[in-house]
A and B are shown apart, each in its own frame.
Chain A
Amino acid sequence: MAKLGQFLKTKKQFVFYSFLVLVIIFVAIAAPAIARVDPTAAKLRDAFQAPSAEHWFGTDALGRDVFARVIYGTRVSVSSAVILVAVILVTGTALGLIAGYFGGVVDAVIMRIADMMIAFPDLILAMAIAGILGPSLINAIIAITVVSWTKYARMARSLVLKIRKRTFISAAEINGSTHSHILTHYMLPNALPTMIVTAATDIGTTMLSLAGLSFLGMGVQPPTPEWGYMLSEGRSYILTSPWLLFFPGAAVFIVVVVFNLWGDSVRDIVDPRKKTKKHFRRKKH
């Protein structure tokens, strides 16, 4: 207990941002209680109302409460971003571990495919994939996974290569451990911390990618409340009902900032060395 207290004291930043993240997660979970009304309930004759005491963020074209939609949007945005990052983390790490551990042909095949993927600006390939598969949240997640796993695979592979020749691995091999045993008991635990930190720092960016696809109509489908799609819908009313843009826009912004700050603080804890030295990242729009 005292140890925990000590930890909390030294990691004030992390604690604070984790608190903010928890607030966002709380908002997502408690959305029904906070929003009070159904985000998909249409009261057609109450459409396009400016923000008021009754409708804090105004109403949209269908007379739906924008506040409720923004709050419920937290659910979709946060959960899909976390799921997506998890999927990328798992596939990328698994492929990277396999490539690094087995080497040879397996390595060559996996890494050449990774080379191919890295040649693409992410959003555009994701768009093409989502377009071919048809628009839906699941397909958007698949599309972004396809273009994003390479970064994790490379990282996992290099981590494996670092310990591949260490004596304890050779010892395990001599003692007759199976490949899967070595992979799960030695390789994975070794790579995992770095991988998870990277994943944590990526949640914010991932959220932006997903919102971008939804904005283009290739992600979440109506009437599910999602910020990117709300912005896309609100665009037509920029002259007359600008609140349809401002509130979902602010929501994306705040949540992404919080997750980015939290990700940075996680990295600072695990790897204080990198505090000032930001590693090279693939650039995104």
Chain B
Amino acid sequence: MKSKIILKRLLQMLIVLIGITFLTFLLTYLAPGDPATAMYESMGVVPTEEQLAQARANMGLDQPFLTQYGRWITGCLQGDFGTSFTKNQPVLDLLLKRLPSTFKLAVLSLAIMAVVSIPLGILSAVKQDGIADFIIRGVSFLGISLPGFLIGLLLLYFFALKLGWLKVASSNVGFEQMLLPSITLAIAMSSKYTRQVRTAVLEELHQDYVIGAKARGLKQGEILWKHVLPNAMLPLITMLGLSFGSLLGGTSVVEIIFSYPGLGILAVSAVNGRDYPLIQGFVLWIALIYMVVNLLVDISYNYIDPRIREAK
């Protein structure tokens, strides 16, 4: 039964993937500007008409749209995502090269976020309407209203520049280089998650079984740790999955501010250079990672959630 559901999901994913790639392919096809000219321009060359025609033929641009798309998708299935116009390297290589640093950044920022927002969210819920709750809610409200680039610039200004605590650049993607960008990402996320944790815990605290347990004289700490938290954390898994998925897509703004060599910078340079194969490869990657993460979340949900488990 279960594997059948998963199979169905995989099939759905495939359809959605084809749809998405078709859409981006169509967009690039309709977009003004000629990739062949763009390629020559990125090389700094003024091409002749013959060279352009030759390049278009090489890139398959003289073929009908559907043929082009078909060719691209067959290539993708064989692991050939095309060659970047501007960087003259296979798209797949370019993406894979960036993946580790993006992955590390995603993990670190999620970790910082969890360390900050889970305790604060719980505190804020347990001490509902107390001073701590006020402050936490106030700060997290302000947090979601701050654009990421502003947070990044402020952190850069104060911590790297004014205080000199952190270095702005280093050759390898080490902890120090990841710290400011991941804090920037974590601040925006923490605000959202703190609110979410608070809501979830509050909801759980108002459940009948908690009231019952209290009446039976169980200690508040015990109720909280043994019953409330495990249940309250469940809905967060979905959110975490989505966050992780979107972090793996790269975080252009933050990466640009901190010169962090992740997928986001690559995406921006692809967009700026009209590097269609790279844009397409990138979009495909995003869609894929997002759906895989979603699927994993759903599957894990099936295993973790006692209600779903018992229902079976």
Contact = CB atoms under 8 A, between A and B. Distances in A.
Contact present between A and B (CB < 8 A): yes
Nearest to A232: B149
Contact of B286 (A120, A204, A257): A120
A166 interface: no
Contacts of B24: 128
Interface stretch (A19-27, A57-65, A210-218): A210-218
Contact of B246 (A113, A129, A211, A285): A285
Interface in B76-99: none
A125 B268 contact: no
Contact of B253 (A132, A216, A239, A278): A216
Given A128-B271, A132-B279, A256 B145 contact: yes
Interface string A127-150: 111111110000000000000000
B16 A277 contact: no
Contacts of B12: 115
A276 B202 contact: yes
B147 interface: yes
A231 B154 CA distance: 11
Interface string A216-250: 11100000000010011001001100100100010
Interface in A11-62: none
Contacts of B256: 216
- Where chain B touches its partner, the secondary structure class is helix
Contact of A123 (B144, B199, B203, B252): B252
A119 interface: yes
Interface string A250-285: 001100110011000000000000001110101101
A109 B189 CA distance: 33
B141 interface: yes
Nearest to A209: B147
Given A212-B147, A218-B271, A121 B154 contact: no
B68 interface: no
A131 B272 contact: yes
Contacts of A235: 153, 257
B178 interface: no
B149 A115 contact: no
A215 B149 CA distance: 8
Contacts of B45: none
A134 B32 contact: yes
A112 interface: yes
A174 interface: no
Interface in A86-140: 112-113, 115-116, 119-121, 123-125, 127-134
Nearest to A124: B249
Contact of A260 (B28, B144, B196, B291): B144
Interface in B4-46: 12, 15-16, 19-20, 23-24, 27-28, 31-32
B202 A252 contact: no
A277 to B, nearest CB: 7
Contacts of A163: none
Given A113-B19, A134-B32, A215-B253, 5 more contacts: A124-B267, A204-B145, A208-B145, A257-B145, A261-B141
9 contacts: A119-B16, A120-B290, A124-B286, A128-B271, A132-B28, A134-B32, A217-B272, A260-B145, A283-B192
Interface of B: 12, 15-16, 19-20, 23-24, 27-28, 31-32, 141-142, 144-150, 153-154, 156-157, 161, 185, 188-189, 192, 195-196, 199, 202-203, 235, 239, 242-243, 245-246, 249-253, 256-257, 264, 267-268, 270-272, 274, 279, 282-283, 286-287, 290-291, 294
Interface of A: 112-113, 115-116, 119-121, 123-125, 127-134, 204, 208, 211-212, 215-218, 228, 231-232, 235, 238-239, 242, 245, 249, 252-253, 256-257, 260-261, 276-278, 280, 282-283, 285
Closest 6 CB pairs of A and B: A131-B271, A121-B246, A256-B145, A132-B31, A257-B145, A249-B150
